[in-house]
Structure 1
Amino acid sequence: MIIDSLTVRDLALPLVAPFTTSFGTQTRRVTYLVHVTGTVQTAAGRVRTAGWGECVSLADPLYSSEYLAGAREVTERHLVPLLQHAQREGTEITAETVASVLAPVVGHPMAKAALEMAVLDAQLRAHGVSLAQYFGATRTHVPSGVSVGIQDSIDDLLRAVGGYLDAGYVRIKLKIQPGWDLEPVAAVRRAFGDDVPLQVDANAAYTLVDARQLRRLDDYGLLLIEQPLGEDDLVQHATLARQMSTPICLDESIASAKDAADAITLGAASVINIKPGRVGGYLEARRIHDLARAHGIAVWCGGMLETGLGRAANAALAALDGFTLPGDISASDRFYTRDITEPFVLENGTIAVPTGPGLGVEPVPEMLDEHAGLVQELWAA
């Protein structure tokens, strides 16, 4: 792709309800979108095209070291200039070359992923190919699970879980933390039975000192416990995995295919939650999928409260055969009264995989006008 413009657009969407995890509470989704335009060489000649990307970084460095203002700054001061320099030197920017062009900048995978996503969307739109086709996905719908944040009371939790089950979600994930773990899990099992696919997510809230408490979760027939220990604690996760019958799933610990390989080798995880933004983009996410599948490790696609843009891309990724567990690709109304794209809806417990070129969805202009903030042009022809 020969890029001739790149803009970033701040965005703030209110959530339908506060979402609380072990590291904080969100009441709105604050992010930025990347929009690129340019031309792509196709069999029919050079075609003008455009694409969208979404940064999934949180406002504060709580989930990872990345935070939104930092992602925005590194994009402006370092990442876009690298792309511009590469293009001036004769490199045609493609989704497959973005990672190598940006490699001199250490870290910042979410900022890099947003740029790769925009280029990939534009590239595929020019060729008339959907993201699912590009990945080699075979499914038209993906099973939809829902993530339930930490609630003010057990009664509130049971009402929330009951509502999601009534809506048709096929898997429930409970956020947990010290002091909010055994009791909510036990209450959900009592209220809804042992047949409900149930898992928990600690977001690195525990240490190996808490192993005895975590082992008590084995009594509840959970699909998995996600990221119980710190993101750097692969050896400790391997130790915990040997002490528990509940499968250990890693999230924050997996920032690349190399991290996934290390975790598999150590026995630190029997399940991996793949979040494309966390690992630097959808191409690296697919590599992790391929690696895990080759080693018999289950994977599923996590969520970062994405708008319809990221939701579309996640659905396409989760349609790959190796994604054997329901992901966090929920309907748009799980988080937003109105999404910035046409809404994703739950259909018999599944989300449809978009079939249009690229992401298969685009922002609704009036939603951008209503919720967008600063629009900054970082690259102009």
Structure 2
Amino acid sequence: MAHTGAATTTRIVELELVRLRAPSGGRGAPVLVRVSDEDGVSGWGEVPGASPRQWESLEAQFAPALFDHAWSRPTEASDAWADLPWDPAVAGALDTACWDLWSRRRHTPLAHALGGERTALTAGVTLPQQKTVESVVREVNRQVGAGFRRIRLEVSPGWDLDVVHAVQASFPFLVLQIDAGGRYTESPEHLEALHALDRLGLLAIEDPFDPGDLEAHARLSTELRTPVALYRPLTCLEDVDAVVRAEAGGALGIDLSRLGGLTPARRAVDRAVDAGWQVWCGSSATTGVGRAATVALASLSGATLPVEMPPAGRRGRDVVSPPVRAHEGVVPVPLTESGLGHGIDRHVLEGRTAKSLVLGPLHT
């Protein structure tokens, strides 16, 4: 494959699976995926919190399908698994790895390959529910001290107004977004709380109702000044189209692992922007591999809301170098290196590996 803009054919001849040890937080262990072409150029992707079933499907179904499929552009790689049972996280890891490989072959930063234009991104962070309001304020203080400019608070009925009021009293200029996690209904009490939250100047109210109830989201969206944001209903590009058609909100959280990779995620950003919706790039990734891909996606001009990054204070070395993190609330988009812009630290990777497997066409 020449290092030019000409379309040439890529064939994957080796696929490596690496299961990392489960993090202490109790979430499932991620699986990293490496694809390599005939010239030994590689690209990486991540399956966050991968299950044993996903490992098996990678080994027994997705790998053989990818070995049998040649493609000229990474947008064509997904044709390999089009007839397999849909698994957006698995598809997303392979799609991302193919984009990474293709960009490295062309000596192009992944952000530019996707059409990204921005060189630095405002970072946001999500804080889960705490035991007390005071502990929420302390944790917000920690993240603000680290430079984060947008905080996304998890709320639920009875754990919402007091929390937001307390944070705003301590940090009146902080940008706040709330994640309701589908925990509210259209009961009078819940609607009253949502309308009260609407008066607090929030960036967005995310997933207030059951993810499948787009009509309820659409009704609420017409009543509030605050944009209703949707994240959980989006598991494929068709879901994005359905949400937009239903006019179920005004903002979307795009997560490439939930949508099936960079190819559909890039299209989702374009479609949302064309419909007049705001976009932020969320991330279920637990390693720098997935987060680097998220940063590249968030460099698109239409993804104007803060990109999701891990909170300050996490310990341990990442598997990529340099690590993907925010500095004073800003995430740089790597533009001096090709592909993801972050190399794999093999020493760290080996120390965190619980299981690995290398596959090739003769092994499948």
Task: Give your verdict on TM over 0.5.
Answer: yes
CA 1:335–1:100: 2 relative to 1, 3 Å: farther
Quick one: which amino acid aligns to residue 178 of structure 2? V
Correspondence 1:346 to 2:345: no
Contact map agreement 2:123 2:149 (CA 8 A) in 1: yes
Aligned to 1:106: 85
Quick one: which amino acid aligns to residue 3 of structure 1? I
Aligned to 1:3: 12
**Cα separation, 2, equivalents of 1:330 and 1:143:** 13
CA 1:256–1:107: 2 relative to 1, 3 Å: same
Quick one: which amino acid aligns to residue 302 of structure 1? G
**Cα separation, 2, equivalents of 1:131 and 1:258:** 25
Correspondence 1:179 to 2:158: yes
Aligned to 2:40, the other structure's residue is in SS state strand
Aligned to 1:152, the other structure's residue is in SS state coil
**Cα separation, 1, equivalents of 2:181 and 2:109:** 33
1:286-309, Cα deviation, whole Å (9 max, x unpaired): 101111111211101012143111
Aligned to 1:122: 101
**Shift in Å at residue 196 of structure 1?**
1.1
Aligned residues: 349
Instruction: Map 1:222-261; keep pairs closer than 5 Å.
Output: 222-261=202-241
Return the match for 1:370 from 346, 351, 364: 351
Return the match for 1:135 from 114, 117, 142: 114
Correspondence 1:312 to 2:292: yes
Aligned to 2:29, the other structure's residue is in SS state strand
Q: Cα RMSD between the aligned structures?
A: 1.9
Aligned to 1:42: none
**Shift in Å at residue 101 of structure 1?**
1.9
Contact map agreement 1:231 1:253 (CA 8 A) in 2: yes
**Shift in Å at residue 335 of structure 1?**
3.8
Quick one: which amino acid aligns to residue 145 of structure 2? D
Task: Note the residue ranges of structure 2 that are not aligned, 5 or more in a row.
Answer: 1-9
Aligned to 1:152: 131
**Cα separation, 2, equivalents of 1:167 and 1:258:** 38
**Cα separation, 2, equivalents of 1:229 and 1:177:** 11
Contact map agreement 1:8 1:32 (CA 8 A) in 2: yes
Aligned to 1:53: 45
Task: Note the residue ranges of structure 1 that are not aligned, 5 or more in a row.
Answer: 16-25, 40-46, 60-67
Contact map agreement 2:256 2:283 (CA 8 A) in 1: no
Contact map agreement 2:46 2:285 (CA 8 A) in 1: no
1:75-134, Cα deviation, whole Å (9 max, x unpaired): 2222222223x33xxx34752222222111232111111111112211211111110110
Correspondence 1:199 to 2:191: no
Contact map agreement 1:13 1:371 (CA 8 A) in 2: no
Aligned to 1:169, the other structure's residue is in SS state coil
Return the match for 2:75 from 88, 91, 96: 96
Aligned to 1:208, the other structure's residue is in SS state coil
Identity %: 32
Aligned to 1:79, the other structure's residue is in SS state helix
Aligned to 1:205, the other structure's residue is in SS state coil
